[in-house]
Structure 1
Amino acid sequence: MNIGVMGAGAVGCFFGGLLARAGHAVTLVGRPALVEAVRAHGLRLQMKDGFDGQIVIGAAPGPEALADADLVLFCVKSADTEATGRAMLPHLKPGAVVLAMQNGVDNAERLAAVLGRPVVPVVVYVATDMAGPAHVRHHGRGDLILGTGPDSGRVAELLRTANIPATVSAGVTAALWDKLIINCAYNAMSAVAQVTYGTMVTVPEVRAVMADVVAEAVAVARARDITVGDDILDRVMALAAAMPNQYSSTAQDLARRKRSEIDYLNGHIVRQGAGLGIPTPANRALLALVKLLEAKAALAV
């Protein structure tokens, strides 16, 4: 299958690399430095299971490279959803399947509005980072939950043949909210302190703030009739044991002086809470701290 990856960061490069390793024709659409490195040396895929090799894969700087894609993995930052969707719209094949593989809970809906076609929401569970312009490192997991749609079953099977665990679920909205709540608990504090998940949870005061963040997010979700399990706090805390050496994506963004997705994580809870009349002071404080660091980085440029 011809597959395009729109937004070749750590997530896009990881899943694109696995699909290319399985024999699919994959093109990464990303920044010039990545394109140059991939064209010169291929993509280095360094897996937690010990695999470490160069993958032959395509790379291009613009969305016109998606013209032949039967499947598009849409992996851009949440703030860029609409603008990137408008840029790639003229280049999409009529029957191309688009997967929204992003943080946040409303990207598929926003992208579908721009494209004027269905978009499959996907919950992504993976720990990765970029060690260089074309060097992706895998630290854990790598499984996907796809929303239902006419092509979802076929795409999930294709992903599984590339050793990507993938399931289709009618409960994808609840799963997206579960991941949002987990991100709200970890991302901002990992970013503010530039520490790993394992280090975070060794501090009792941090665990108490995480519990407050989760309680606020759960209150917002349930007020919107989103199902959240009573064990959500236990599952949040268990992530640190599963990924003790992981830095959040927000921490990685701030370390590189890039704009983060905080408006679509804790910021989403704050906005939804305001509309519902639900106080969200812990989420608001973390939102403010990350925005302050972003402002500081902008002044230093």
Structure 2
Amino acid sequence: MTTPASPIAPADPSSLLRIAVMGAGAVGCYYGALLSRAGHPVTLIGREAHVQAVQQHGLRLQTAVLDVQVPMQASTEASAVQGANVVLFCVKSSDSEDAARQIRPLLAPGALVLTLQNGADNDERVRAVLDASTPVAAAVVYVATAMAGPGHVQHHGRGELVIAPSPRSEAVAAQFAAAGIPTQISDNVRGALWAKLVLNCAYNALSALAQQPYGPLVQVPGVTDVIADTVAECLAVAQADGVTIPGDIQAAVRGIAATMPGQYSSTAQDLARGKPSEIDHLNGYVVRRGAALGVPTPLNRALQVLVKLAEGRGGSGSAFGGG
């Protein structure tokens, strides 16, 4: 049974953020719920069934330690970004330009647009569409979430963000941290985006094609070898592209299955629902950059094509119903 969520007042009420979540899927709903619980006014912008559920009952936030209804505003219209000083931009990568065009005339002066998306170039693509005076900062998202139905988000693990510097990044990071969202500002956000891209390329397509979560997936003979070869291609492209990937990427790849054993990739969730995936912006992005730089990427290309073929079959009837 869920309980109403009690707001957690920010340490400094005068620094409240007014937040709009453009593309309120699992990632946007999870972070929006945490920020709303911390007292920040949050408006979710998403599909009609999801919006109606939130308007009627609030957003159900289910984690390992919480199961609460979080009241917040919700709308199906892009116009709901008006008045926000922070926009969590969470649409699918293929929708980035269109969504940016929708919000461009509605943004408050100086509003920070944070791109919480898969892929390595969404911030550049959004920045190219928006007014030059609008700050856009990439955010690298490390979280395991899923929509269990309209108005119901489940959190399965992690939740930290790495964001690029901007005029508002310090203040935003402080408020996010106070809301329970570990947030780091990095001068090498491009490298951090690539680190996340490598993880996605390693696991997303395989999880999608097998319709298995990460833990069981890596127990299948040969899977870890395919992952290693996929990662090697990605790293070769990154090196040729002048990207410095921070940390121990090999350890990070190994750690995904251990830290998120029950998580299905976002690509697996898309295929299960019969929706187009973001594979063209994951393995497909590596293929395009590899072609431009003269680096062969046959395994990434094969994974991209196999997912595209699976998309053509439609949904598999798995238990990922909802928004």
TM class by smaller structure: over 0.9
Matched ranges for 1:136-155 at <5 A: 136-155=153-172
Q: Distance in 1 between matches of 2:72 and 2:281?
A: 31
Q: Distance in 1 between matches of 2:183 and 2:247?
A: 25
Q: For residue 306 of structure 2, what is the amino acid of its counterpart?
A: L
Q: Which runs of 5+ in 2 are unaligned?
A: 1-16, 316-323
> For each residue in 1:232-267, what CA deviation from the matched residue of structure 2 results, as whole angstroms up to 9, or x when unmatched?
223201110011000000000000011100000000
1:109 pairs with 2:124? yes
1:150 CA displacement: 1.3
Give the helix-richer structure, 1 or 2. 1
Give the structure 1 partner of residue 87 of structure 2: 72
Q: TM-score, normalised by structure 1?
A: 0.97
Matched ranges for 1:1-301 at <5 A: 1-48=17-64, 50-116=65-131, 117-228=134-245, 231-297=248-314
Q: TM-score, normalised by structure 2?
A: 0.90
Q: For residue 191 of structure 1, what is the amino acid of its counterpart?
A: A
Q: For residue 147 of structure 1, what is the amino acid of its counterpart?
A: A
Q: For residue 56 of structure 1, what is the amino acid of its counterpart?
A: P
Q: For residue 82 of structure 1, what is the amino acid of its counterpart?
A: E
Q: Distance in 2 between matches of 1:98 and 1:214?
A: 30
Q: Distance in 2 between matches of 1:36 and 1:164?
A: 27
1:296 CA displacement: 1.9
> SS at 2:143's partner residue?
strand
1:161 CA displacement: 1.2
Change (3 A) 1:231 1:29: same
> SS at 2:44's partner residue?
strand
> For each residue in 1:50-88, what CA deviation from the matched residue of structure 2 results, as whole angstroms up to 9, or x when unmatched?
111000110000111111111110000000000000011
Q: Distance in 2 between matches of 1:65 and 1:175?
A: 30
> For each residue in 1:132-157, what CA deviation from the matched residue of structure 2 results, as whole angstroms up to 9, or x when unmatched?
10000000011001101111101100
Q: Percent identity?
A: 57
Greater displacement, 31-40 / 233-242: 233-242
Give the structure 1 partner of residue 318 of structure 2: none
Q: For residue 71 of structure 1, what is the amino acid of its counterpart?
A: V
1:230 CA displacement: 8.1
Q: Distance in 2 between matches of 1:260 and 1:38?
A: 25
Q: For residue 39 of structure 2, what is the amino acid of its counterpart?
A: G
Q: For residue 130 of structure 2, what is the amino acid of its counterpart?
A: L
Q: For residue 77 of structure 1, what is the amino acid of its counterpart?
A: K
> SS at 2:120's partner residue?
coil
1:126 CA displacement: 0.3
> For each residue in 1:159-182, what CA deviation from the matched residue of structure 2 results, as whole angstroms up to 9, or x when unmatched?
011111101110111111000000
> SS at 1:90's partner residue?
helix
Q: For residue 43 of structure 1, what is the amino acid of its counterpart?
A: L
1:229 CA displacement: 5.5
> SS at 1:214's partner residue?
helix
Q: For residue 85 of structure 1, what is the amino acid of its counterpart?
A: A
Q: For residue 24 of structure 1, what is the amino acid of its counterpart?
A: H
Change (3 A) 1:124 1:270: same
Q: For residue 75 of structure 2, what is the amino acid of its counterpart?
A: A
